[in-house]
Amino acid sequence: MTLTRRYTLAALFPALLLMLALVAFPTIFIFTLSFRDYVLTDMTSPRGFVGFANYARLLGDSRFASAAGRTGVFVLLSVGTSLVAGLALGKLLTTKARGVGFLRTVMIVPMVITPLVVGAAFRFMLDYDLGVVNWFLSTIGLPKLGWLSQATLALPTAALVDAWQWTPFVALVVAAGLESIPTDPIEAAQVDGANWFQELRYVTLPLLRPLLVVVLLIRTMDAFREFDKIYIMTAGGPGTSSETLPIYVWRAAFNYYNMGYAAAAGVVMLIGITVVSALMVGRTRALEVDR
Amino acid sequence: MSALKRPMLTLGVVVALVVALFPMLYMVRIALSAPNQWRTPTPEWTAPIYTDSFASVWAGRFPSLLMNSGILAVGSTLFVMAVASLAAHAMARHPSAKLRKNVMFFALSTRMGPAVVFALPLFLMMTSLNLIDSRLGMLAVYVFYNLAFAIWLLHGFFSEVPREIEEAGLVDGLSSFGSFWRIAVPNALPGIIATATLVFILTWNEFFYALVLTRRAAATYPTAVPGFFGAFTVQWGEMFAASTLGIIPPLVFGLAMRRYLVRGLSMGTAR
């Protein structure tokens, strides 16, 4: 016996209706918007369809290309750092070292704190004059650094702050994974005299692979759309040195009110992240509903 | 080897604890210090405690922003949970796998799609409906933000309830809704609470939509934070006092539900 057909439809109806209104409609809207000349502040703008004009302008805009490049750097640095640190930390969480239980609880803290507040706290700690980081550097005899005020450093610094917030997430998933995989292959590798790197490379990582792909996917998508911390720490500056795609699109839409152009940039962003995530999901079935 | 290894592990734990906790402890300490006391970077942990920054933040407009955050987070959580659990349960019990697989697309697109992109149509739609800076409009936005993700998570939790218990109930004369309400919901309760916690935290912490779609009446707590950064000076004490007040709810809920949090954030993969 199963649920009646009428009940199933009634139970799905509100969700389907909301999905249609709140998800499908804006998605279609953004595509049509990207083909229109739509400048909000310009009352004389006819707001008509202009074909691929917005996309053509986008292709010729070197600032857009730079923002896309910076987004790539930001994603690589943030995801890479949090994966490496998260693997090490996850391994530490499965040992019997003193304080591991407490550390597991503490790992929750960075993940649940408002990202904007994380950015604000780090902006203070990384301040050139007032910051505790530069105070520490000068105490041990190293020169002060303009972490967020120097053009070459602002983007990598922002990526590391993002990695700080999400490394615990990777670590806790890795720890959960390590506890669920069989210990025999690892013990066998140790008996056979594998060093720690061989054990990691040939035994642990392959066993954790399905989980790691999902973590990689989630981390990549989150880093790709990161806005809050960059906004509060540098707002894309100094100059445009930390202007990633979300900051760029926000500026085009809500500083210059060029909605059509911003929509075109947004569509390119959506296509970009869809392609990247499809490539990642391609060979894993971990995210499928019927596992 | 283990004689050397053990202190190394303990050192690792200590370093991880300091790195994870220092920024927030430092922030709270600054919020609790006298104005001008932190003009020097030397960390003075033993300086006298002042609550002036909190008093000044509390006397202003900030409590009404916290109230908006609370109303929107609780409201959207309740609404999303009601709609999503009905749908997720019906899907988990539906024989067609095709229907289920299509949900993944929506879940990924709204949970992972950049807010900046969706903000454009939402902004224009809400402007034409006169919903900019209204709680009703923001409630709709946060339902949009969480619905597919919640259905995704709840689907996993309902699938874990053995089909047989529900079938036995139906045979014994329970209605379809009775089977959902009296059998599925109590059995999936930990997962339902975990999903609700996550929806609450994500909504409470949301900044971008609030920045773009609210002005004053419906503004939530994160929108106050940039306001403390002036053109020439930054009111660090007040800013961190407001931030400290703002992070208490997600911290409390997150720590209380820590066992389920990682499973939710990993979209159900890590358990």
Set of chain B residues whose Cβ sits within 8 Å of the Cβ of A116: 205, 207, 222, 225
Q: CATH homologous superfamily for A34-77+95-166+208-281?
A: MetI-like (1.10.3720.10)
What's residue B39's pLDDT?
67
Nearest to A109 among B9, B21, B125 (CB): B21
The answer, for A191 touching chain B at a CB cutoff of 8 Å, is: no
Q: Which of A248, A180, A217, A250 is nearest to A83 (CA)?
A: A217
CA distance from start to end of chain B: 33
What's residue A290's pLDDT?
42
What's residue B206's pLDDT?
95
Q: What is the DSSP code (8-state) at residue B51?
A: -
d(CA B241, CA B224): 11
d(CA A149, CA A238): 6
Is the backbone of residue A95 left (phi > 0), alpha (psi -120 to 50) or beta? beta
Please give chain B's pLDDT, 271 residues, in tens.
455 678 888 999 999 999 999 999 999 998 998 876 766 666 677 778 888 889 999 998 999 999 999 999 999 999 999 999 999 998 888 766 676 666 666 666 666 778 888 899 999 989 989 999 999 999 999 998 898 889 888 988 898 888 888 888 888 888 889 889 998 999 999 889 989 999 999 999 999 999 999 999 999 999 999 999 887 788 888 999 999 999 999 999 999 888 788 777 776 776 6
Nearest to A1 among B144, B170, B247 (CB): B170
The answer, for A41 touching chain B at a CB cutoff of 8 Å, is: no
What's residue B113's pLDDT?
77
Please give chain A's pLDDT, 291 residues, in tens.
578 888 888 988 898 888 888 778 888 899 999 998 888 877 776 677 888 888 989 989 999 999 999 999 999 999 999 999 999 999 999 988 888 999 999 999 999 999 999 999 999 999 988 888 999 899 899 998 999 999 999 999 999 999 999 999 999 999 988 888 887 877 888 788 888 788 888 888 888 888 888 889 889 989 999 999 999 999 998 999 999 999 999 999 999 888 999 999 999 998 898 888 878 776 555 455 443
Asked if A109 lies within 8 A of B24 by C-beta distance, the reply is yes
Set of chain B residues whose Cβ sits within 8 Å of the Cβ of A134: 41
Set of chain B residues whose Cβ sits within 8 Å of the Cβ of A18: 83, 143-144, 147
pTM of the model: 0.91
The answer, for A255 touching chain B at a CB cutoff of 8 Å, is: no
Tell me the residues of chain A between 208 and 227 that have a Cβ less than 8 Å away from chain B. Answer: 210-211, 214-215, 218, 221-222, 224-225, 227
d(CA A22, CA B126): 12
Asked if A289 lies within 8 A of B170 by C-beta distance, the reply is no
Set of chain B residues whose Cβ sits within 8 Å of the Cβ of A100: 13
CA-angle at B13, arms to B12 and B14, nearest 5°: 90
Asked if A129 lies within 8 A of B270 by C-beta distance, the reply is no
**Beta carbons within 10 angstroms of residue B167's beta carbon:** 15
Asked if B266 lies within 8 A of A246 by C-beta distance, the reply is no
The answer, for A252 touching chain B at a CB cutoff of 8 Å, is: no
The residues spanned by each domain of chain A are 34-77+95-166+208-281
Set of chain B residues whose Cβ sits within 8 Å of the Cβ of A289: 97, 100-101, 103-104, 155-156
Asked if B243 lies within 8 A of A121 by C-beta distance, the reply is yes
Set of chain A residues whose Cβ sits within 8 Å of the Cβ of B226: 231-232
DSSP letter string, A192-254: TT--HHHHIIIIIHHHHHHHHHHHHHHHHHHHHT--HHHHHHTTT-STTTT--HHHHHHHHHH
Residue with tokens 């931030």: B243
**B80, B105, B117: best to mutate for the A interface, most A CBs within 10 A:** B117
Identity of the residue numbered B12: G
Report the half-sphere exposure of B157 (CA within 13 A, side-chain side): 28
What's residue B107's pLDDT?
66
Nearest to A15 among B84, B114, B253 (CB): B84
Nearest to A89 among B16, B43, B270 (CB): B16
In terms of CA atoms, which chain A residue is nearest residue B121?
A26
What's residue A2's pLDDT?
74
Q: Are A114 and B25 in contact (CB under 8 A)?
A: no
At B167, phi and psi to the nearest 5? -65, -40
Asked if B101 lies within 8 A of A112 by C-beta distance, the reply is no
DSSP letter string, B9-22: HHHHHHHHHHHHHH
Identity of the residue numbered A75: V
In this structure, what token pair is assigned to residue B229?
């950064």
In terms of CA atoms, which chain A residue is nearest residue B36?
A130
Q: Which of B77, B66, B91 is nearest to B210 (CA)?
A: B66
Tell me the nearest-neighbour CA distance from A152 into chain B, angstroms.
23
Three-state SS string over B113-182 comes to: CCHHHHHHHHHHHHHHCCCCCCHHHHHHHHHHHHHHHHHHHHHHHHHCCCHHHHHHHHHCCCCHHHHHHH
pLDDT in tens, B106-129: 666 666 778 888 899 999 989 989
The answer, for A232 touching chain B at a CB cutoff of 8 Å, is: yes
In this structure, what token pair is assigned to residue B156?
């996993």
pLDDT in tens, B220-270: 999 999 999 887 788 888 999 999 999 999 999 999 888 788 777 776 776
Identity of the residue numbered B199: V
